[in-house]
Amino acid sequence: MSARWSDRQQAMLREMGVTLWLPPAPAEVPLPEVTVPVPVQAPVPSPAPAPAPVRMSRPVAAVAEANSPSAPRPLAARPSGVAAMDWPALREAVAGCEACGLCRSRRNTVFGVGHAQAQWMIIGEAPGEQEDRQGEPFVGKAGQLLDNMLRAVGLTRAEAGPEQQVYIANVLKCRPPMNRNPEPQEVAQCEPFLKRQVELVAPKLILAMGRFAVQSILQTGEPIGRLRGRMHAYQGVPVVVTYHPAYLLRNPADKARSWDDLCLAREVLRGGGPAPA
Binding site for ligand URA (CB under 6 A): 124-128, 131, 137-138, 142, 170, 210, 246
Question: Is there a contact between 208 and 123 (Cβ–Cβ < 8 Å)?
Answer: yes
Question: Is there a contact between 228 and 241 (Cβ–Cβ < 8 Å)?
Answer: yes
Q: Which amino acid is at 217?
A: I
Q: Which residue is nearest to ligand URA (CB)?
A: 124
Minimum Å distance from CB 276 to ligand URA?
23
Minimum Å distance from CB 264 to ligand URA?
20
Minimum Å distance from CB 46 to ligand URA?
57
Minimum Å distance from CB 41 to ligand URA?
43
* Among 115, 114, 110, 104, residue whose Cα is nearest residue 125: 110
Minimum Å distance from CB 217 to ligand URA?
12
Nearer to ligand URA, 189 or 273 (CB): 189
Nearer to ligand URA, 164 or 170 (CB): 170
User: Angle, nearest 10°, between helix axes 184-201 and 211-218?
Assistant: 80
Minimum Å distance from CB 25 to ligand URA?
10
Nearer to ligand URA, 210 or 273 (CB): 210
Minimum Å distance from CB 5 to ligand URA?
25
Nearer to ligand URA, 30 or 49 (CB): 30
The Cα 74–Cα 63 span in angstroms is: 12
The Cα 247–Cα 245 span in angstroms is: 5
Task: List 207's β-bridge partners, or say none.
Answer: 122, 240
Q: Number of H helices and number of E strands within the chain?
A: 10, 6
Nearer to ligand URA, 174 or 273 (CB): 174
Nearer to ligand URA, 182 or 273 (CB): 182
Q: Which residues contact 225 (CB under 8 A, 6 or more apart)?
A: none
| Distances 81 to 85, 118, 236 between C-alpha atoms, Å | 7, 24, 21
Nearer to ligand URA, 138 or 259 (CB): 138
The string of DSSP letters for 140-191 reads SHHHHHHHHHHHHTT-BSSS--TTTB-EEEES-SSPPGGGPPPPHHHHHHHH
- E strand or H helix that includes residue 131: helix 129-134
